[in-house]
Amino acid sequence: MFRPTHGLALLTLLAVPVLPSRAQSGPAAINAYFTGKQVVLKIDMPGSQKGVDLRFNKATPMDWKEYSSRVKQFGAAVRKGDTARVTNIVVKKDMIEFQLDGGGFGTFGDDTTTTVAAKAVEKSDYEKQLEQQISDTTDEDKKRSLQRDLDRERARRARENAANQRAAQVASQLKAQQVAEKRMQGGSRFNLRWSGSIPADQLTPEAVMQLLAEYIDFSGLQAGASAPSGNGAAGSAPTAVQNNAVAGASGGGDAGSPTAQLKRGMKIEEVSSLLGQGRQLSESTSTDGLKTQVFEYLPGDRQVQVTYVDGLVVRFSISSR
């Protein structure tokens, strides 16, 4: 007896996982398939636009020494196990950039400098006049008097230069902390590299997933997911807000709470007025005379640790207790 097989055929089709078609190839197809979707990382990703290089002209694509050096130098912007969003795919002649959560800090327009130069104090008109008068006079008593005045004026300028130098050193530490924070928020990328040009059979979503399978989990690939990305991924809820200029808005408390008002660059007296009397945990002085202090504060149900350099906040962390 003839029996219809349409139902069996439909069940068979439903059981087959949906994969990108091999017919979908080229930069546009890769971009369309991945951009906006979320993936889970199997390795830590360095907080830099340099990202992770994978060279497919070599037997082992990953240079683990280079990778370790970048993670050590830039920190991890996306951690192993974190969910990250694919924000862009850039296909070049011999490389595919697989960008995550922004592609990494350090691209065009990002300020990566961490040094603030001290402004030199120029000679005042008074100092120049004294020098000229000393040069012009032949009266030894008057010359000695003028020299004393000149020495005082030069000492004043030297004190101002020293103060500017210390202020620049503190500003440099603040700037370095800002850059470090931006690196943690800027995402990262994989650079898939070939010699000459990209093989045609590698320009498909399926091929890209196979090349990255050791480093990215694509099993939950989905568009429009609402899970948080980067180092705030689902399943890794942070217990502290580390070194964040907007700590109050992301775990430090309500907008009006004392911890929400804590900012880098505040004076130690301002923090004490805000959070109460703190407990000093450590103190050290660098070879160039900068004093670093670490204090702990316990406002309400929060634990706040603040690092000061010459009495100014350069970093802090806030956690529940």
State the pLDDT at residue 255.
61
Q: State residue 250's pLDDT score.
A: 38
266 versus 115: which is more confidently predicted?
Answer: 266
Structure tokens at 287: 């070879």
Q: What's the rounded Cα separation, in Å, for the pair 271 and 305? A: 11
Placement of tokens 């040094």 in the chain: 115
Identify the pLDDT of residue 175: 80
Reply yes or no on whether the pLDDT at 119 is more than 50.
Answer: yes
Hey, how many other C-beta atoms are within 10 angstroms of the C-beta on 108?
5
Q: Where are the domains of the chain?
A: 18-105+186-232, 125-180, 240-320
What is the pLDDT averaged over residues 40-56? 95
pLDDT class for 183, splitting at 50, 70, 90? confident
Q: What is the pLDDT of residues 240-286, one digit of tens each?
A: 334 443 333 334 555 668 888 998 889 999 999 999 999 999 888 87
Sign of CA dihedral 50, 56, 62, 66: negative
Mean residue pLDDT across the chain: 82
Cβ 76 vs Cβ 47: under 8 Å:
yes
CA nearest neighbour of 196 among 65, 55, 294, 6: 55
Q: Is the pLDDT of residue 232 over 60?
A: no
Torsion of CA 174, 110, 218, 53, to 10 degrees: -100
Q: What is the pLDDT of residue 16?
A: 41
Q: How confident is the model at residue 5 (pLDDT cuts 50, 70, 90)?
A: very low
Residue 22 predicted with pLDDT over 50: no
pLDDT bucket at 172, cuts 50 / 70 / 90? confident
Tell me the one-letter amino acid at 215: Y
Instruction: Tell me how long the chain is.
Output: 321
Name the CATH architecture for the domain at 240-320: 2-Layer Sandwich (3.30)
Task: Kindly report the three-state secondary structure assignment for every residue of the chain.
Answer: CCCCCHHHHHHHHHHCCCCCCCCCCCHHHHHHHHCCEEEEECCCEECCCCCEEEECCCCCCECHHHHHHHHHHHCEEECCCCEEEEEEEEECCCEEEEEECCCCCCCCCCCCCCCCCCCCCCCCHHHHHHHHHHHHCCCHHHHHHHHHHHHHHHHHHHHHHHHHHHHHHHHHHHHHHHHHHHHHHCCEEEEEECCCCCCHHHCCHHHHHHHHCCCEEEEEEEECCCCCCHHHCCCCCCCEEECCCCHHHHCCCCCCCCHHHCCCCCEHHHHHHHHCCCEEEEEEECCCCCEEEEEEECCCCEEEEEEEECCEEEEEEEEEC
pLDDT at 166 over 90: no
Q: Give the pLDDT confidence score for residue 19 in this predicted structure.
A: 52
Q: How far apart are CA 252 and CA 56, in angstroms?
A: 45
Residue 20: the pLDDT is 52
Asked if 79 and 231 count as a contact pair (C-beta separation under 8 A), the reply is: yes
Taking only the tens place, the pLDDT of each residue in 148-157 is 999 999 999 9
pLDDT reported for residue 145: 95
In 3D space, the residue among 20, 61, 17 whose CA is nearest the CA of residue 43 turns out to be 61
CA distance 96 to 225: 24
pLDDT exceeds cutoff 50 at 1 = no
Predicted confidence (pLDDT) at residue 227 exceeds the cutoff of 50: no
Q: Can you tell me the mean pLDDT for 293-301?
A: 92
Nearest to 67 by CA among 48, 83, 93: 48
What's the pLDDT score for residue 289? 78
Tell me what pLDDT residue 90 has.
95
Please report the pLDDT score of residue 253 as a whole number. 52
Say yes or no to pLDDT of 17 above 80: no
Residue 4 has pLDDT above 70, yes or no: no
